[in-house]
A and B are shown apart, each in its own frame.
Chain A
Amino acid sequence: MPASVSLSLSLPLSPTARSDPSVAASPFGAFRRSGLRFCGLRREVLSLRSLNSEASGRISPYPARVLSNKVLAAAKSNGSPTKGFDYDLVIIGAGVGGHGAALHAVEKGLKTAIIEGDIVGGTCVNRGCVPSKALLAVSGRMRELQDEHHLKALGLQVASPGYDRQSVADHANNLASKIRSNLTNSMKALGVDILTGVGTIVGTQRVKYGKVGFPDTEVTARNIIIATGSVPFVPNGIEVDGKTVFTSDHALKLEWVPDWIAIVGSGYIGLEFSDVYTALGSEVTFVEALDQLMPGFDPEIAKLAQRILINPRKIDHHTGVFAKKIRPAKDGKPVLIELIDAKTKEPKDTLVVDAALIATGRAPFTKGLGLENINVTTVRGFVPVDEHMQVMDADGNLVPHIYCIGDANGKLMLAHAASAQGISGIISQTMFIFHTFVEQICGNNNVLNHLSIPAACFTHPEISMVGLTEPQAREKSEKDGFEIRVAKTSFKANTKALAENEGEGLAKLIYRPDTGEILGVHILGLHAADLIHEASNAIALGTRIQDIRFAVHAHPTLSEVLDELFKSAKVNVVTSPSVSEPVAV
């Protein structure tokens, strides 16, 4: 089960891939170390570094936000391939990961093709982040309009708010197609070849693709990136009919709003859907295999989230139980869920509900990739990769010229137990591969710091996180022998939050008092998903608390919650005199 898998963290924490920072910059200016820091890459993970070098490292000429179409339009068009290959790069899978890689490759002058068997955009655009945000935008407003107490406090009067299900569904669908055409157009404009069909690896540098019933076409490529992503994971014994028992793929179409829906799994997907369904009038029953709801979140955040997002709503829950069998509604009978104790496996209870949403996590989509042709065996479906995203074969040796990014390699799913990595992590991995292409020539080694990748859950209010949870940080601190501390601030003390009458929330910082290093930040509160980036950038850039606490925040804004958080942290480090900010004493 992904739920249990996700808790066994194996992060590339050890700074084994250390390199001499004084090594001359590579001839490829854009790939200089300083530039890469923008993308969540770190030369030395969790390293100690003098303030001076950090400060100079921040100034970078590199245009970080590659996704912007305008920047890309100015870049070169698809180049001509290296001798002997059809393409410099073939990407399998046109989701956000593949798309990001393709744009980037063209920018680097590589002749690039992308193979997609379904529709451009992948899970994120068509069946994940994008349509779910549309539904959550609706649910957030419904929730506000239904909260009479809240409205009254603001002096507003609204009479019986309602919604039209089909229009809500259309909103989500329209958004997905809009983003999808944006993606397609941006690739077409740059001349990326979009090859339609299921891509299969034939040999080390050979890929074939083709639609069912049509002859396959084979192409050769200098490098191959696998970006096939993931599909919803459905445990054995659960019969998905797409109508009454379904996954997030179907739920996002919002074909109906059941009166009572059981959500199996209380991770971020389940939590977001509980927000949508309860706002639209459903009652929700959570079924969670672990003893706590929201496993993978920082326990303190999970507890508060339960007080804010679960308890006051029309939600109940069964924890420590597996849904052993789920039978869809048919022949006039409702959906039947058989629960067994997660530990003893004894029958525990049965639930009779109108619908069941299976949100037990996601499984990598790596079947039919032809991995056996290059002697690669998947681990629980994941493509094994090293810390450079380069694919490893069954014997643990690196397979030259083949890389794997995104959900298919499992690294991001592990980096965030809540598995809410989203696009940011995939883009970082993509950037990383390009970095590796070049850096390998110079003999540099770099490690991607997955801990700097933020994650967010778009409930109302939102939850966001970056880095380690408190238990993870404690475990690491005991192992490595350093002290950690926790600082917290409340949204109740924030003027902007109070102006919005949304004072519920908490921001939590886990840090090392001896160095001022930020280990993790967790936020539950209004616009938490937008607030996390100050912290994730700080982690990615190696900014210490003693530096960031001098940063100025506009008043009154929600960002002051993080400002307060950093200021309340007590760092013992002796501030070096080279700190550029003058301080009135």
Chain B
Amino acid sequence: MAASPSTTSVAGAGPLLSFSSSLSSPSRRLLLPLVRRSSGGAGRRAARIPAISAKIREIFMPALSSTMTEGKIVSWVKSEGDRLSKGESVVVVESDKADMDVETFYDGILAAIVVPAGESAPVGAPIGLLAETEDEVPLAKAQAQSQSQSQPAPVTQSPPSPPSVAAPSPPPPPPAPVATPVAVSEGPRKIVATPFAKKLAKQHKVDIGTVVGTGPYGRITPSDIEAAVGIQPKVPVSSPSPAVTPLPQSPAPSADRSAKAPAAALPPIPGSTVVPFTTMQAAVSKNMVESLSVPTFRVGYPVTTNALDALYEKVKPKGVTMTVLLAKAAAMALAKHPVVNASCKDGKSFTYNESINIAVAVAIDGGLITPVLQDADKLDIYLLSQRWKDLLKKSRAKQLQPNEYSSGTFTVSNLGMFGVDRFDAILPPGQGAIMAVGASKPTVVADADGFFSVKSKMLVNVTADHRIIYGADLAAFLQTFAKIVEDPESLTL
């Protein structure tokens, strides 16, 4: 059996497809946090890593089963320096359930092995680095080095006693046993803990070094750990927790294991209040979780807005807003690139939408809704502006009809008015792409002749479903969009 190295990585062709698991040019880096967060906690890592410009992809610890939180590397099928081609097995991973071959989705060179065979890593953590060319191998190696150095010190969590008893959250299945024997502790005193005590300590995330043993010869017994956690003794721990526990002085790559524990397992912080979702919030939550099943990628594009700003000043008195202008521009670009207006409903086919309906994200009190400007390519900006006013009014009154917020074929989300220079949107279910628009800012640019000038630039970032929309499609669409915005006369036609 084979598994993808990352649940969110994208299989397919195209020069720009590598976003989910690559650290590409700096301009793309901004896309990463959200993408990687969706792959299960890897976002923290991405945020730690300084900008890396070359095409170096991380091979993550894949989630091989629904209950897997970390996996052990059984063996690396390939060694450092080996050339890999798409679909080849790279590494064998042992999960809580089985051993599986993990294959690569990309061609490249296995530049560095971050987690060696026999060690464990949490799901989503990079276990190796894949360089696209020979030139990037040294860079990848350096990155691997910096990664292992930037590992945070092991987090010791001692949960507050009384509440944790009341809510015994299912303990994350601890890692498969590490074959290497426990390192000899050179510390001042040798910790002696019984096998079950070590298992319990791991399960309850107790730093065994802080527990005082009361057993024979001062050894730490299971009841010492239970006392430390605040469990009254005689609670049978029957959950199958495969673990043979290395003492906490285990080597660095697996050291931050406890930090990767899913939030669900964390004890509640005292004094917090729990407010249930409203219906709308629940719907948003459901849609967001659903979006994880779609393989998305992001393409960013800088657009010069001087001409658009000038146009905006002209049409503003007639009630036309920037939102409408952007929606119109997007609609016109979509008309030329129907694939970006398409959607993938069943995972097997393209669904080309006849009309171009632009949904616009609107924040309302305690929620988020996306009123739809239907046929935005056909209507002129004045008519669209009128429609938009109506939709906003209905949104505030929560009177939108289902077809007025669910018929979108493409979404525009604009946070530019808040000074946000760039952001990353999540693709709503049922649509092929979403555009995230940042603020327009004066930027120094050099033209072809070497003359400097100051132009207003805004960063536009499109998230798309890579099952149907490929990198080149988005690039072409953004190019058209930029042309329309940079020469906005056509918007008024």
Contact = CB atoms under 8 A, between A and B. Distances in A.
A170 B182 CA distance: 39
Nearest to A262: B195
Interface string A325-362: 00000000110000100000001111010100000000
Interface in A293-328: 303, 306-307, 310-312, 314-321
Contacts of B302: none
B216 A314 contact: no
Contacts of B99: 303
Interface string B441-482: 000000000000000000000000000000000000000000
Contacts of B190: 350
Given A260-B194, A352-B192, A354-B216, A315 B242 contact: no
B177 A283 contact: no
A547 interface: no
Given A311-B243, A312-B242, A348-B184, A319 B198 contact: no
Contact of A285 (B195, B217, B241): B195
B6 to A, nearest CB: 26
A560 B184 CA distance: 49
A452 B240 CA distance: 36
Interface string B260-300: 00000000000000000000000000000000000000000
Contacts of A58: none
Given A303-B99, A312-B242, A334-B216, A317 B177 contact: yes
A316 B195 contact: yes
A292 interface: yes
Contacts of A333: 217
B217 to A, nearest CB: 5
B236 interface: yes
B405 interface: no
A316 B244 contact: yes
A319 B181 contact: yes
A311 B203 CA distance: 13
Contacts of A347: 184
Given A148-B236, A303-B99, A319-B179, A259 B199 contact: no
Contact of A311 (B194, B236, B242): B242
B245 interface: yes
Contact of A318 (B181, B215, B236): B181
Contact of B194 (A146, A283, A306, A339): A283
Size bracket of the B interface: 20 to 34
Interface in B180-231: 180-182, 184, 190, 192, 194-196, 198-199, 215-217, 219, 222
Nearest to A319: B179
Q: Which of B181, B192, B215 has the most CB of A within 10 A?
A: B181
Nearest to A311: B242
Contact of B195 (A149, A284, A303, A320): A284
Contact of A259 (B176, B216, B244): B216
A311 B244 contact: yes
B66 interface: no
Contact of A334 (B217, B244, B245): B217
A321 B182 CA distance: 11
Contacts of A241: none
Contacts of A148: 236, 238
A316 B198 contact: yes
A352 B243 CA distance: 21
A291 interface: yes
A490 to B, nearest CB: 12
B196 A314 contact: yes
Given A149-B238, A291-B179, A321-B181, A315 B217 contact: no
A307 B216 contact: no
B244 A317 contact: yes
Contact of A312 (B198, B215, B217, B241): B241
B contacts with A: majority SS:
loop
Nearest to B240: A312
B67 to A, nearest CB: 13
A349 B179 contact: no
Interface string A252-272: 000000011000000000000
A147 interface: yes
A291 B219 CA distance: 27
B195 A314 contact: yes
A321 B180 CA distance: 10
Contact of A283 (B176, B195, B236, B245): B195
B444 to A, nearest CB: 61
Nearest to B218: A352
A284 B244 CA distance: 11
A259 B197 CA distance: 12
Given A148-B236, A312-B242, A317-B244, A283 B181 contact: no
Contacts of A283: 194-196, 222
Nearest to B236: A148
B69 to A, nearest CB: 15
A315 B244 contact: yes
Contacts of B236: 146, 148
A243 to B, nearest CB: 16
Nearest to A287: B181
A352 B215 CA distance: 12
Interface in B309-323: none
B13 to A, nearest CB: 36
Interface string A566-585: 00000000000000000000
Contacts of A348: 181, 184
B199 A314 contact: yes
Given A259-B216, A283-B196, A348-B181, A316 B242 contact: no
B217 A349 contact: no
Nearest to A354: B216
A315 B195 contact: yes
Contacts of A291: 179
Contacts of A147: 238
Interface string A274-296: 00000000011100000110000
Contacts of B245: 316
B64 to A, nearest CB: 14
Contacts of A339: 181
Interface string B236-259: 101011111100000000000000
Nearest to A315: B195
A576 B439 CA distance: 80
A333 B216 CA distance: 10
A10 to B, nearest CB: 29
B485 to A, nearest CB: 59
Nearest to B245: A316
Contacts of B222: 283, 314
A27 B274 CA distance: 91
B227 to A, nearest CB: 17
A158 to B, nearest CB: 12
A349 B242 contact: no
Given A148-B238, A307-B242, A352 B177 contact: no
A283 B195 CA distance: 6
A292 B178 CA distance: 11
Nearest to A320: B181
Interface in B366-425: none
B179 A292 contact: yes
Nearest to A146: B236
Interface string A126-152: 000000000000000000001111000
B196 to A, nearest CB: 4
A350 B185 CA distance: 10
A316 B240 CA distance: 14
7 contacts: A283-B196, A285-B195, A311-B176, A317-B244, A318-B182, A320-B179, A339-B181
Q: Give 10 nearest A-B pairs by CB, closest first.
A: A311-B242, A316-B195, A314-B196, A312-B240, A316-B244, A318-B181, A283-B194, A283-B195, A283-B196, A149-B238
Given A148-B236, A352-B192, A354-B216, 4 more contacts: A148-B238, A291-B179, A314-B222, A315-B195
Interface of A: 146-149, 259-260, 283-285, 291-292, 303, 306-307, 310-312, 314-321, 333-334, 339, 347-350, 352, 354
